[in-house]
Structure 1
Amino acid sequence: MAEHDTKPEVVTTEAPELKTRRYTVGYIRDWKTHNRATSITLKGAWLDDAGFETGTPLRVRVMPGCLILTAQELPPAPPPEPEIMQTLKKVCKLSARKQRQVTDLIEVISKPQR
């Protein structure tokens, strides 16, 4: 049985920005079926440093004896809704189609004229 509170061993390689961490594969128990499931828990500030901040989508590529974890870029945040649209939503009940039409109109009239 693997220890639950193991700490990673940090080994510095030739390049100072590369560090190797050693973990032991453990397991978790599914309390409903009482079956074991293989488990690896990664945690530490080094994940943030490597670009794996909380909420970052993660891509996992699986090969025999190898896992490659890649942080994916978050989609860009939607542009802020114009104040006039917020006001209109409070005052009137606009359908999604009408909201798009008003937004399109706002974009047209807010462009600088030649």
Structure 2
Amino acid sequence: GRAESSLGTLADVNLNAAVSKEACPLNLAPTASTTAALALGDALAVAVLDARGFGSDDFARSHPGGALGRRLLTYVRDVMRSGDDVPSVGLDATLSDALFQITAKRLRMT
């Protein structure tokens, strides 16, 4: 931001992500400036992660219910089906019989 702004004058450090021109043809809509701010925020987050030695195990513990945490914490044993839970038909079964078995076992394959 601007070092001369009211917030800038109070800050110990000013990380300037100013852009000379927005991508908007009218130079009005915040386009390039929002991208620059996002990139600066991402860079700061990654620097803090690195400085703290934050690894995938830490991330998984912090986000156990989210898609990324689940990806790090889920093992084959957690999703593997066996025995009667696996759809199975003989070699002479019709395709209709096979689809019925897959659907009946609720494996979300259809």
- TM-score of the pair, normalised by structure 2: 0.29
Of the two, which has the highest radius of gyration?
2
More helix by share: 2
- TM-score of the pair, normalised by structure 1: 0.28
